[in-house]
Amino acid sequence: MRLFTALWPSAEAVDDLVAALAALDEHRVAAATAGLRTFRFVPSARWHLTLCFHGDDADEHDLAERLEAGAARAAAYPPALRVAGAGVFRGVLWAGVRPAGAEDGRALRELVRAAGGDPEAHRAHLTVARWAAGRADRAALTGLLDGYAGPWWTADELALVRSEQRAGGREYRTVHRVPVTRGRSG
C-alpha cells in the first residue's frame, strides 16, 4: 500500500481533457509514440495532482493527523487551477497544472508544504500516459497537447489517497479529506 496527498481535478476539468485526448489524430499519436513500448493513456479516474508522496511504510492515521494540522497552519485558500500544457518525465507524458495568478500559486505551494512536500521542487501535473521503454521524441509527445488549456477549477480539498496494486492496475481510494476553506487574502 502506498499513500500520497493529492488534489483531484474537477469533473469538468477531467471531461475537458478526456475530450481533448479523444480528439487527437490517431496518426499524430502513432508518430509521437513510435519507438515507445507499451504506450498507454492513464484512465481519467486516476488523474490527480500529487502534492506529496508518503511511501509504502507511512502510517495512515499519523498522516491524516499531520495533514489536518498542516492544513490548519497553512494560510492558503482554495487555489484556482487549470490543466494546460504538457511535459515528459522518464516514461510519463503529463499535462501541466497552472495556477490562475500569483496568489493562487502561493496557495498551491502552501498546500504542498501542508502535505509534507517540497514546494520548490514540486511540478504540478497530471500523469496522462505511460510507457515501459523506448526512445521518446519529447517535442512530438508534448506537442500532442500543444495549446491545450482546460477550464478553471478550484482545489478546495486535500485528499490522503491509498494506492494499491490490483489485477487491473493501481486502484486509488481517498481515505481522508481535509477541506481548504480559508478566505482570499487582501
Structural domain count of the chain? 1
| pLDDT one-digit tens code per residue, 138-162 | 899 999 998 999 999 999 899 999 9
| Structural domain range at position 69 | 2-179
Cβ(81)–Cβ(108) below 8 Å: yes
Query: pLDDT band at 186, cuts 50/70/90?
Result: very low
Residue 103 lies in a domain: yes
Which pLDDT belongs to residue 75? 63
Residue 171 lies in a domain: yes
Residue 164 lies in a domain: yes
Rounded CA-CA distance 138/147 in Å is 16
Phi-psi category of 134—alpha, beta or left, where left has phi over 0 and alpha has psi -120 to 50? left
Longest CA–CA separation in the chain, Å = 51
Is the pLDDT at 1 greater than 70? The verdict is: no
Residue 61 lies in a domain: yes
Residue 92 lies in a domain: yes
Query: pLDDT band at 24, cuts 50/70/90?
Result: very high
Cell numbers of 70, please? 498542516
Which pLDDT belongs to residue 106? 93
Mean of the per-residue pLDDT values of the chain = 90
| pLDDT one-digit tens code per residue, 106-127 | 999 999 999 999 999 999 999 9
Is the pLDDT at 182 greater than 50? The verdict is: yes
3-state SS, residue 164: strand
CATH number for position 49? 3.90.1140.10
Cβ(121)–Cβ(91) below 8 Å: no
Tell me phi and psi for residue 3, to 5 degrees. Answer: -125, 140
Is the pLDDT at 31 greater than 80? The verdict is: yes
Residue 174 lies in a domain: yes
| pLDDT one-digit tens code per residue, 77-101 | 899 999 999 999 989 999 999 999 9
Residue 184 lies in a domain: no
Q: In what order do the strands lie in the sheet with 2-7?
A: 49-55, 2-7, 157-166, 169-179
Q: Quick one: which H or E segment has residue 20?
A: helix 11-22
**DSSP per residue, 103-145:** HHHHHHHHHHHHHT--TTT---EEEEEE-SEE---HHHHHHTT
| Position with higher pLDDT, 20 vs 135 | 20
Range of 55-59, 95-99, 182-186 with top mean pLDDT: 95-99
pTM (two decimals) = 0.89
For 45, other C-beta atoms within 10 Å of its C-beta total 10
Residue 185 lies in a domain: no
